[in-house]
Amino acid sequence: MIHHTCSARRAAIAVGLCVVSGFAAARPAVAAPANLAAVPADAVWMMHLDMDAARESTVVRRTYERAMAMHPHAEGMIAMVKGMTGMDPRKDLHDVTVYGRDTDKRNAVMVVRAKANREFLEKMVEKARDHRTMEHAGRTLHSWTQRGRKGGTGETVVGAFQADDRMVFARSADAVKMALDVLDGSKAAYAAGPLAGRVKPGSILVARAAAIDPDTKCPVLRQGRGYRVAAGEDGGRSFYRAKLDMKSAAAAGLAEDVVEGFEAVVKLRWEGDDVAMKLLSGLRTETSGDVCTIAWDASADDVWKAMEKAVTQWERKQRRSGDGGRACAACGKDGCEGCGGCPFQGEGDSKKEGRPQVEEF
């Protein structure tokens, strides 16, 4: 059991580090914003993750550096991922666009732009379960069964190279064929409508929708018709923007109330924390008719200070949990008596020393 638990934990760490390293380890020459040329004219939602813009982010870069310091074995894990995929996520992955022509995310299409080893990947996929190929517009489509969860039968995945640096994936051959036609220009790409418009410079994540999944579990989105979201970093400042198109003015007001409630909770929880209060001061909400707009800006350095503090607290908690006791905040050693920085130094069993007990509540 311990072996399986540790293996799962290492696997989770490896996946997380590969994602972060895909953002932060190398700096690109140019960051490419969301490109609707890859999205069909009848799409109702899209998301774009810009890895190149993320590599330019102070917060993401420092997160990567801290993660590598916390997990020095991660370089080996990333090398293993590189060997399995034929590309280094730290520098080869540029952006990912996902879209849907309806609100069922099982029908989504993913377009990946990366410096990929095409020959290596095509040889790898040939070994996949139920692999078969088909042709469309001079390109080879690969179909295989992706291994499902334990006890599951798995799901069909179809993928194809549109170019040496661009891959398309979906759950059906028809969806991949349609995506290839859009990228080739033989089918219309998205040009005008709620998914189009200016992309804020430095955006790492862009998400837009003209329809909401009726089965969504989010109570705010259930009252919405669509949204536009962007998050990233520009000129040393982190930002978040959201424009919620709600079904009524009352729903827009309730969405604003949710944000204000969050603001109140933060003030109560971190009232004496200057950095937290500084970050919170950059939050603004506004309603106009049935539209609720949310904007937040903060210094990237301040965002990192808050994140670093949270990570340090998490590391301290992990050390205590792993050691079965309290660890020194200064040197990390359990039961330290010599560094002078340990807040628990000299603290023993309060029951044995006759100290009053404080009940948790």
Q: Interhelix angle for 300-323 vs 58-70, to 10°?
A: 20
- In order, the DSSP letters of 340-355 are S--TTTT---TTTTTP
How much is the average pLDDT of 62-69? 87
Say if residues 171 and 156 touch (Cβ distance below 8 Å): yes
Give me 110's structure tokens.
Answer: 């993913």
Give me 6's structure tokens.
Answer: 């540790």
Q: At 317, is the pLDDT very low, low, confident or very high (cuts 50, 70, 90)? A: confident
- Would you state the pLDDT for residue 152? 65
Lowest average pLDDT, out of 24-33, 164-173, 211-220, 259-268, goes to 24-33
Neighbours of 261 (CB within 10 A): 10
How much is the average pLDDT of 22-40? 58
Q: At 151, is the pLDDT very low, low, confident or very high (cuts 50, 70, 90)? A: low
- In order, the DSSP letters of 116-167 are --HHHHHHHHTTSTT-EEEEETTEEEEEEEEP-STT---EEEEEEEEETTEE
Digit-coded pLDDT (tens) for 173-228 = 999 999 999 999 999 999 999 999 999 999 999 999 999 999 999 999 999 999 99
The residue among 147, 148, 146, 172 whose CA lies nearest residue 158 is 172
Digit-coded pLDDT (tens) for 164-173 = 999 999 999 9
Average pLDDT, the chain: 82
Give me 166's structure tokens.
Answer: 């661009």
Over 90: is that where the pLDDT of 263 sits? yes
Q: At 132, is the pLDDT very low, low, confident or very high (cuts 50, 70, 90)? A: very high
pTM of the prediction? Answer: 0.77
